[in-house]
Structure 1
Amino acid sequence: MNWRDKAECLRTDPELFFPVGTTGLALIQADAAKRVCQRCPVQEECLRWALDSRQETGIWGGTDEEERRLIRRRQAREARRVAS
């Protein structure tokens, strides 16, 4: 069984996870999507997949595009620190 088969979002309109824009109604939509993620049993796996596959749009693992960019930057800084 794939982790996606257990995802809470399977029972939700997929459009919820792809808000258009970053203000107003899109923020409300993103918050609603993140609430679905909070109760998802595979949230961590989803986020890991989104980071590994460099998902640039949508809500994945309870994070939006900017939050994932910050995570990737932090991971890159840590990797450089460990390498030096």
Structure 2
Amino acid sequence: MARSVSLEPLQILFREGDEATNAYVIVSGRIEIYHEQADGGVERIAVLQPGAMFGEMGPMDDAPRNASARALEKTVLNIIDMV
């Protein structure tokens, strides 16, 4: 069952190492997938646009998140529970 959530600009959705139980579909806005560096910097992996699905690999593999995700602007996501 899917539900929706709204994120503000730069709001963090999840961090690398978090438990992974959901996948997400972007309804509007953009999501940045990134690695946090030891020096506080950020290594950008991808910027995802509306229609993109992400976050499904962790729950499918029963593994923690392997990257962090945050909104780059006001963003609406559909959350898909996978457990």
TM-score, scaled relative to structure 2: 0.24
The structure with more radius of gyration: 1
Name the one with the larger strand percent: 2
